[in-house]
Amino acid sequence: MNNYKRFLAMITTSTVVMFGLMYLNSYALDHVFFSETRTYMALYMGGAMAVVMLLFMLGMYQDKGKNTAIFIGAIAVFAIGVFLVRSQTTVQDQSWMKAMIPHHSIAVLTSERAGIDD
């Protein structure tokens, strides 16, 4: 596997792992539902990570054309992901409601275990 394929595999794997980690704080496993918003968040984090990691490892990746393509692609993924999170253009009513279950589950988990009294 060449360096660029490995880089793509590393960014893809890390993005998928970040998506899964967003559900880690759900109160219960049955509170986990697919969320378009979390998908877009993972994508823009993956785009940002690709830029940062490539900048740190430019010595290992010396093909300027491929590097430029990665930077442009990663910035585009980042921008589209941020737009989709902020606009919620593709999120429908039922999808939004299901996505609120893990969101509120995290609030229940942190509030219940915080030991806060009235």
Residue-wise pLDDT tens digits, 65-109: 999 999 999 999 999 999 998 888 887 777 666 666 766 677 776
Q: Taking the model in full, what pTM does it have?
A: 0.78
Residue 31's pLDDT is what? Answer: 73
Average pLDDT over residues 4-26: 91
Q: How far apart are CA 29 and CA 23, in angstroms?
A: 9
Angle at 84 between CA 80 and CA 90, to 5 degrees: 125
- Total Cβ atoms within 10 A of residue 43: 20
pLDDT in tens, 16-57: 999 998 888 777 777 777 788 889 999 999 999 999 999 999
Q: Where are the domains of the chain?
A: 3-20+27-112
**DSSP character at residue 76:** H
